[in-house]
Structures are given as structure tokens and as C-alpha cells.
Amino acid sequence: MKIYMRKYPVIILIFISLLIFLLAVSIGASPDLLKKKFRPVTGHVKDEIIVKFKKNTPYSARGDRISRMGIHKSDISRDAVLIKLSEGENIEEAVKEYKNDPSIEYAQPNYIYHAYEIIPNDTNFSSLWGLKNTHQTISEGTYPYNNPGTVGMDMDAVLAWDQITDCSSVIVAVVDSGINYNHVDLDTNMWDGTSCKDASGNALGSCTHGYNYVSNDNNPMDLYGHGTHVAGTIGAVGDNGAGTSGVCWSVKLMAVRVLDELGSGTTSGVISGINFAVQNGAKVINMSFGGSSYDQAFYDAVSNARSYGVVVAAAAGNDGLNNDSIPAYPCNFDLDNIICVAALDQKYQRATFSNYGPTTVDVGAPGANIMSEWAGTPYIISDDFKTGTSLDPAWIRVGNLEWNYNIHSGFDCLTNPVNFDWAGYKYKNSIDAGVYKSFTLSGSEDAVTLTFASKFELEPYFDYFRIFYSTSAEMMPGNLLDYWFGLTPGDYFYLFQYNMPICVGSTTCTVGFELDTDSSYTYRGVAITYFNIDTLTLNNTSYKIVSGTSMATPHVAGLAAMLFAYNPEYTYQDVVNSIKYGGEDISALAGITVTGKAVNAWRSLYYINKPTGVTATKL
């Protein structure tokens, strides 16, 4: 479209008309968008008053009257002036004296006003610094820096809530470890799942608030906690007198479980989860996970979501690395429906763990010391293998007795051979050496997992390191969890994690290790440290403070839902642009993110997309 302009008055009129049109149309045609509501606060500027003179009062007389008690600070209108009182002058007396002057229409204090704030009555709202930063200290914070933070360094959710809190017209899919859909602060905001479809669009009947692609059933209960935390930031029920508040006080949360009890998932599960979300009407997908390998199938699924107008909020990663140099997916997929999110701390500095990228990471959002819902009560059973300086006798040795307690690289270790890493000392040939210990559980746990760190050097293909578990106190061999041979690269401990589903519901969980060797070569052996059994017992009232780009991302997903709800005609591009370019300039993000901005709910609601297809020609 071309606009031909002949004279400057016409240019001005047309430009103003176009601007008014864009204001009225581009941001949703709501007259309230052109207003900002205010509320008075008890109090006023301590040494200023406003005086309005009657219209027939000469200017010379006005000056005389102003000089009685102060100085003329500024004109407010043709007849009204702002006066700064002399030091020590009582404001009430000054107002009274001016009111008694027959040349003055009125006099009043210079009252203070603030933008309306809708503060929810949720009991833990004061801990949600990302929504309203009051310089509060997060007492159980997991991130040690900049706590407390800086007043006002938040996403201005409170201001946005003056316009909208209800996002219930929008479905947000939490593609994660599931959601505890029974949580008191989430249950009424869960997507109902009636008449749901599978990833291919085939009818499934009724789903329980989503789908589980870990065990391939319709129960997406969270057995890890991560997805529940993400869901709470997006849409915990607001103003219900309990817990926390989400960015959206009401919204439809779809639980799509693709990560297991250890927070791990596969390509097949993730793309099935994305396709399920798309088939069932999600407009926003939150993905607070990632990997380092380019995955074409994953790319195709996100691209397909784009064709359905779906916005994807993705975590930048927690390695403190530059994603431009070392890619992290899905953030690094070149798709314009993805918003890649870095984490900010309470002073709006980039959190030290957060990845960044001048061309790959779009915005920052609150991601340190974030309180939200959790799936249940976690409990950790740790073991250092020792009693005094000897092997704890609760670790029972079977066969060869070389398994023993040892200190290696400063760590308490379980090793075979007993003198692991001594010069020239190696494990023995032709042995089948086991060691195990039984641990007591309550029997009410809903998830039981094993974590330990190990380094090993074994004859490849002939000597084996095996991990077992069982619910019996007499265990060897038990149920095989995994086996290894060869060596761990470098002189480092590597982390190993396993799900132990048979221990769920049992009061006994036994873990064992085995070294099985042949008659030929011998090597350095096995060292084990950092032994933990982690359990989760579901409940409906748990909350937890966690840090990570995983926690930053749902702030963006919640804002995307808010924008779709506020502007139902918005496309995914409108929402993405409003979030990316309607944010707040932050010096800590300049040059290390695409926009240099932190997300801001208030500014994004009022962001106006630049007009396209318009040219101006001067005649």
C-alpha cells in the first residue's frame, strides 16, 4: 500500500491517523489499552502544593502570592502552578492560607499516585521475586549470589494483572516430567483431557489431564518434580489464599510426560509429546530441557508445531556456555516460533550457570531461587561406605573380599581392589566378587532412584562391573540394573543414575555391585563414591525453591499464554515479537542475547508490532 503525500499538513494528519489506527488495531482494539489506571496512595510530596488562580488574576499578583511561602517550580496549566514551599513551611497551613485568598480558585497538596497493583493473597507470593521484586531475601535459595536482589527487577506481572489474570482460553503444554495434577495449587487449572487425541490425531477417549510417553499410558503423574515446578510458574492458581501464583492465575495446563524419574527422556518420547500437544490444541509448549546433538526428528516436530501457530518456550541450558559456539537444542533450532530463554538472578544479572548467545538466546527471565509447586516430598539416603576408617559392616561382601573402603582423590570410596590406584596394584583374575547393602524405606514412596559416581578400568569385553538391586535383604545377584567394561575416560568420576521401580512400595531396597573377571589381563579396577538413594513420596501440598534456565522458561510460557488470551487474534509471530521486543533493556544481557532484553509482562501487553507493507512517497 502506498500513501501519497502532497503537503506537510497532510503528511502530519495522515501520520497521526495511521498511528491512531495502529494503536487501536494492532494491540487488540481495546480502549483500555490507551489508558493506565492509577490509584492514590496515602500521602503527598512533603514540600509541594498545587495552586490554581482564578482566570482574572493578573500575573504580577500571582507572583506576589507565590513568593509568600515558596518558589514557583513549574506551570501545570495556564492557571495552575506547582509551588515548592520554603524550608520548614507546614503544608496544611500553606494550603489553608492560599484557599483563603480570593484570587485563588483552589490549593491542594501534590498527591502521590502509583499504578494499580493487584496483589494476590497466595501465602507464598512474597517469595516470588520474579513476579514482584521487593528486595526480599529467599531464605532457602539454591543460588548464592545477589540474594536479596534489587527492587523492581522483575517482569512487572503485577502491572499486567491489572489488565488480565485469566488465561483459561489458552492451553499450555508442559512437555516435561509430568505434573502432579492433584496439587492443591494446580488441580483446578489442569486441562480436563476429555476426548483427547494421540500424537497422530487418532481418538484416545479420555486422558487424565494429558499423556505419559514414558510408560505409554494416559496417566502423566510427575514422579520427578521438575514438571510440576514448571507448571506452577506458568499457572498456579492465583489469589486462592494458598501457595504461589502463576504468571497466569487461571489457564489450561496440559501434562505431557516425556521425562522419567531421573529427568531423562528420548527423541521418540519428546516428539510424540509435542505432536500430542499440537493435536489437542495447545497454543504454547514449554520445554525446560535440552541436549547437545542436532536432532532432525525433534526439529521436524517443532516445525510442525509452528505450522499450527504454536509458540515454544525453550531453556538455554545450565552450563554457562555460549550457545553460538556450542549448540544446545531445541534452542538452536532456526525456527521463529521458538523463544530461547536465559536465566536472570534477583539483581537482573545473568545467572552464572545460564547459557547465553548473541544470535541464539533471545531473552532473559527470572531463573534463580524460584519458588513453585513440587510433586511431593523428596528424601535422600546417603552412604559413605565406612564405619570409622573401615568398611561399614552393613556392606556385605560375597566371594572375593577385595571390596573395601578407601579414600581416593579425597573422596570416601568403595573400591576393588582394596588398594585401588596404588602403584602396580590391580584387581585379581578369575574372581566373582560382590558387595551389597540393604536400606530401609517407609514403603509409601512413589519413586526410588539410585545415583553414584564411579571411575573404572577393566579388561574390555572380558571383565565386567555390574550393578544390581532387589527388595530382599539377601541379594546377589538380584535384578540387573546395568553392566560396564572398558574404562571411563580420563581420571574422572562419572555420574551414574538408575530408576529402581521394584523398590517402590517395599520397606527394603538392596543395592549391590559385582566385579567379575576372567583368567587373563588385570587392570586398575573400580572406585565408587557419592552414593545416594533418592525417593519421592507424592503429596498435594509441597513447594520447592530451585534455580535454572528451566525455571526461567515457564515465565515466558506463561506470558505467551497471557498474550494469546489478551489478544485472541494474535498469531504466533505476534506473540513472539511482543515477548522478544516488548521486554526491558538490561545491560547484563546486551551483546550476549539477541535482544538484550528481559521479558516484561506489562510492556509486552502494550507492544505494537511495526506496520508492514506500508510505504510513504513524498510528492
Burial status of residue 324 (CB atoms within 10 A of its CB: 0-12, 13-18, 19 or more): middle
Q: Which residues contact 344 (CB under 8 A, 6 or more apart)?
A: 153, 350, 351, 354, 364, 365, 366, 367, 368, 552, 586, 588, 589, 598
Q: What confidence score (pLDDT) does residue 39 get?
A: 36
Q: Which of 69-73, 134-138, 155-159, 495-499 has the lowest mean pLDDT?
A: 69-73
Q: What confidence score (pLDDT) does residue 15 get?
A: 32
Q: What confidence score (pLDDT) does residue 613 get?
A: 60
Q: Which of 7-21, 147-161, 196-210, 551-565 has the lowest mean pLDDT?
A: 7-21
Please give the distance of CA 449 from its chain centroid, rounded to a whole number: 24
Q: How many Å apart are CA 371 and CA 554, to the nearest integer?
A: 12
Region 510-527 average pLDDT: 95
Q: Which of 21-25, 111-115, 136-140, 180-184 has the lowest mean pLDDT?
A: 21-25
Q: Is 241 left (phi over 0), alpha (psi -120 to 50) or beta?
A: left
| Choice between 436 and 30, residue whose per-residue pLDDT is larger | 436
Are 315 and 288 spatial neighbours (Cβ–Cβ below 8 Å)?
yes
Are 467 and 436 spatial neighbours (Cβ–Cβ below 8 Å)?
no
Q: How many Å apart are CA 179 and CA 252, to the nearest integer?
A: 12
Q: Which of 31-35, 112-116, 414-418 has the lowest mean pLDDT?
A: 31-35
Q: Which DSSP symbol is given to 564? A: H
Q: Which DSSP symbol is given to 121? A: -
Give, rounded to a whole angstrom, the gap between the first and last alpha carbons of the chain.
16
pLDDT band per the 50, 70, 90 thresholds, residue 113: low
Per the prediction, the chain carries an average pLDDT of: 88
Q: How does DSSP assign 517-528, residue by residue?
A: --SS----EEEE
Q: What confidence score (pLDDT) does residue 106 get?
A: 87
pLDDT at residue 104 is higher than 70? yes
Strands 525-538 and 447-457: antiparallel
Closest CA to 431 of 513, 520, 515, 523: 515
pLDDT band per the 50, 70, 90 thresholds, residue 116: low
3-state SS class at 603 = helix
| Choice between 592 and 32, residue whose per-residue pLDDT is larger | 592
Are 287 and 328 spatial neighbours (Cβ–Cβ below 8 Å)?
no
pLDDT per residue as tens digits for the range 354-377: 999 999 999 999 999 999 999 999
Are 273 and 300 spatial neighbours (Cβ–Cβ below 8 Å)?
no
The predicted model scores a pTM of 0.82
pLDDT band per the 50, 70, 90 thresholds, residue 71: confident
Q: How many Å apart are CA 244 and CA 541, to the nearest integer?
A: 11
Q: How many Å apart are CA 541 and CA 434, to the nearest integer?
A: 42
pLDDT per residue as tens digits for the range 120-129: 999 999 999 9
Q: How many Å apart are CA 245 and CA 236, to the nearest integer?
A: 5
Cis-peptide into 120, omega within 30 deg: no
Give the count of beta carbons closer than 10 Å to the beta carbon of residue 569: 9
| Choice between 618 and 545, residue whose per-residue pLDDT is larger | 545
